Amino acid sequence: MRLTAFWNNMHAQFGEGYAHSLAKDFVIEQLGSRTINQALADGIGAKEVWRAVCDAFDLPASVR
């Protein structure tokens, strides 16, 4: 998954403003207790991060 697709998914699910707030502030244990932004900056792939977001927020299978 490209980073652009990741952000498109985030915006579609959470809205543009809230998506960026989540990425900055919400710590996801599945990402090694990192925020989304930290995980991406540390080189974790966008697809893996998206899966962790889907799990953390129990998003429907149709968006996974």
Provide the pLDDT for residue 18: 97
Mean pLDDT over 43-63 rounds to: 96
Q: How far is CA 1 from CA 7, 25, 39, 46, 47, in A?
A: 10, 22, 15, 6, 5
Q: Which residues contact 8 (CB under 8 A, 6 or more apart)?
A: none
Q: pLDDT tens across 6-46, in order?
A: 999 999 999 999 999 999 999 999 999 999 999 999 999 99
Q: In terms of residue numbers, what domain contains 10? A: 3-63
Question: 44 φ, ψ to 5°?
Answer: -70, 135
Query: pTM for this structure?
Result: 0.93
